[in-house]
Structure formats: C-alpha cells, structure tokens
A = this chain, B = another copy of it.
Amino acid sequence: MASLSLLELRHLRTLAALDETGSVSRAAKRVHLTQSALSHQIKVLQNHYGLPILRRQGQSIELTEAGQHLVTLARKVLEEIQATERNLAKMSEHASGSLRIVLECHTCFDWLMPLMDAFRQNWPEVELDLVSGFHSDPVQLLEEGSADVVIGSEQIERRGVVHHPLFRFEILAVLAPEHPLRAKKILHARDFAGETLITYPVPEERIDLIRNVLKPAGVQPERRTAELTVAILQLVASRRGIAALPSWGLKNYVEHDYVIARRIGSQGLWSDLYVSTLAETATRPYLRDFLVTARNTCFATLDGIIPLKPADQ
C-alpha cells in the first residue's frame, strides 16, 4: 500500500472532534492541542485534497461534504483501531482482574451506569463492581485492596496512588423557577445567607460550594440532605432550598423549566474530576481502556465539560 497520502490518524482524530464539538477551539481542547494546530492541520488537508473541508459559519464552523466523508471514515477507522487495540490488550499479561469502583461524586451515576454496561461487554472476564456506602478516606480503600478505582474530585497526594484527570466541570446553583434570586445572573456567597442548602449526605468539607465559597465568606446556611439527585431537585423545585450541582446533570430539568440554574461567582465554580488508582493498577490494559471509554462517553454525553490532559501524554 503505497502512500502518496499524507493523511494520518491525528487528522482523523481532529476531524472526529471537529464534528462532535462543532468548533475548532473546542475540538482543539478535546485532542489536547491548540486551536492554531488544528487550523494548520485543516489547511494542510484542504491543500492536499484541493477541497474545502469546513466552512466558517459566523462564529462557528460547518463541515463541507468532503469533511463529512472524512468524518465518516474517521469514525469507522478509529472504532476499528480501538477494537483491535482491545484485542491486543487482552493478549498481554494482567488482562483480567477486578475493577471495584468507589464513587465519591454522586451525580456521576448518570454517566457511569451506561459506561459500566459497555465495559462489561468488552471485558467480561474483569470483575466489575460498585463499592457502596460513604467512605471518609476512599483512597485508603485502594491501599487496603478493597477497591480498585476512586472517582472523585480530589487529588489526594499519597505515594503509590495515581490520579487520572477526566474533565473539568462547572457547579451551578439550582433554584426554583419562582425563587427571589432568579433575577440575578450570578450568585455570590452572601446570596446564600438565610437559605437552606440541599446537598448529598456528605461532610461539609466534601462540598465545593461550602469549602471554596461559603466558608471563606463566613456564610453558613442551613443544610438538608438527600441521597439521590432527583430527590434534591424535587426539594429545590418545591422551594425547600437551593442546591449546587454539576451543570451537565441539570440540562434536562432546566430545559423543562423544572428548576433554573445560576453561575456561582463571576468566574463560576469549577471542579475537576479524577479517576484515582494504585500505580500498579494504572498499567492494567483494561483500566486504560476504561479511561479511554470514560472520556469518550463523557465528552459525547455531557455538555459544558472541559477536557483535562491525561497525565501520561
């Protein structure tokens, strides 16, 4: 198979990202390159094929017919590659074992469930489990050997433990549509004074809003807890209080005017999500595959999240 083709997988990866994000700069974040790099890549391809691949449509972009062709190719090819890489992974050592997940982030259930289903299909020989209950020191579970991965927002520095960044997300304040604060575009610490805060049943220091915003400002609202995201939203909608939740989980409820969402602070309140494992576990092929598919499904499903660069890249 002679070349005379300068096409590389890197191009296909950007094409796919371009299609998924609909913008050069968002696509750039997705593939962990600069917007400029992608712009150059596109230019090279367009020159090579003598055809425009994307058209600038006002602020954003639109793929041309040629671009669509390439995206279709990209999808097919990248999927085939992932499939054979999985096969290769299964041929290597440590191809089986257990993946017992501790979920620190309650809202993550939303995307974790379908992910686990997909993973179970691809790795039937791996023992997949969800470790339930609250744990004051989840990383310790790794060290004890009673769990394999922790999904959470903290990078607890402990030797022998590795943190794999997943994405950055925004935490929004959630109010009933009729709430007096609805007039404000942005909520600040003092706005929470006198309100009831509805949270998951976890200690204060695990709640970003309290730890990073309210506590420093000396604001201490009442608290009320609920186990499930829907329960929290129900309480908010029935005007029992305010909640603070990741933006992605709110989309549907906001669109149906069940609740309204507001930014917290002028820059917004952001948090990073990590997958933490023992260094040893990190080398396991099925763990690497889990990470890849986790990123893929999250970027595909969740709106408004920002890719974080994997440590090993």
Would you call A238 an interface residue if the criterion is a C-beta within 8 Å of the partner chain's C-beta atoms? no
- Whether A49 contacts B310 by the Cβ 8 Å rule is no
Would you call A125 an interface residue if the criterion is a C-beta within 8 Å of the partner chain's C-beta atoms? no
Chain A residues bordering chain B, tally (CB within 8 A): 48
| A263 CB to nearest chain B CB (Å) | 28
Q: How far, in whole Å, are A285 and B273 apart by their CA atoms in the complex?
A: 48
Q: How far, in whole Å, are A66 and B88 apart by their CA atoms in the complex?
A: 6
Which of the candidate stretches A155-163, A178-186, A215-223, A288-296 sits at the interface with the other chain?
A288-296
Partner of A81, one of B5, B30, B288: B5
Would you call A80 an interface residue if the criterion is a C-beta within 8 Å of the partner chain's C-beta atoms? yes
Question: With A51-B92, A76-B80, A77-B81 known to touch, is A292 a contact of B4 (CB < 8 Å)?
Answer: yes
Q: Within residues 47 to 95 of chain A, which ones have a CB less than 8 A from any CB in chain B? A: 49-51, 65-66, 69-70, 72-74, 76-78, 80-82, 84-85, 87-89, 91-93
Partner of A70, one of B7, B65, B69, B84: B84
- Whether B85 contacts A292 by the Cβ 8 Å rule is no
Q: How far, in whole Å, are A30 and B313 apart by their CA atoms in the complex?
A: 31
- Whether B78 contacts A66 by the Cβ 8 Å rule is no
Would you call A243 an interface residue if the criterion is a C-beta within 8 Å of the partner chain's C-beta atoms? no
| A298 CB to nearest chain B CB (Å) | 10
| A198 CB to nearest chain B CB (Å) | 34
B residues in contact with A288, CB < 8 Å = 4
B residues in contact with A3, CB < 8 Å = 13, 31-32, 313
> Taking CB as reference atom, which chain B residue is nearest A84?
B73
> Taking CB as reference atom, which chain B residue is nearest A67?
B88
| A105 CB to nearest chain B CB (Å) | 20
> Taking CB as reference atom, which chain B residue is nearest A15?
B1
B residues in contact with A1, CB < 8 Å = 13, 16-17, 74, 78, 82, 296
Contact with B along A21-56 (1 / 0, CB 8 A): 000000000111000000000000000011100000
B residues in contact with A74, CB < 8 Å = 1
- Whether A4 contacts B291 by the Cβ 8 Å rule is yes
- Whether B78 contacts A73 by the Cβ 8 Å rule is no
| A291 CB to nearest chain B CB (Å) | 7
Which 6 interchain pairs have the tightest Cβ spacing? A2-B295, A73-B84, A1-B78, A50-B92, A1-B16, A49-B88
Show 29 A/B contacts (Cβ-Cβ < 8 Å), sorted by A: A1-B74, A1-B78, A2-B30, A2-B295, A2-B296, A2-B299, A2-B310, A3-B32, A3-B313, A4-B310, A4-B312, A4-B313, A5-B82, A7-B9, A7-B81, A8-B8, A8-B10, A49-B92, A50-B93, A66-B88, A66-B91, A69-B84, A69-B87, A70-B84, A70-B88, A72-B84, A73-B80, A73-B84, A77-B80
Known: A5-B82, A73-B80. 8 other contacts (CB 8 A): A1-B296, A2-B31, A3-B313, A4-B291, A7-B9, A8-B9, A9-B9, A77-B77
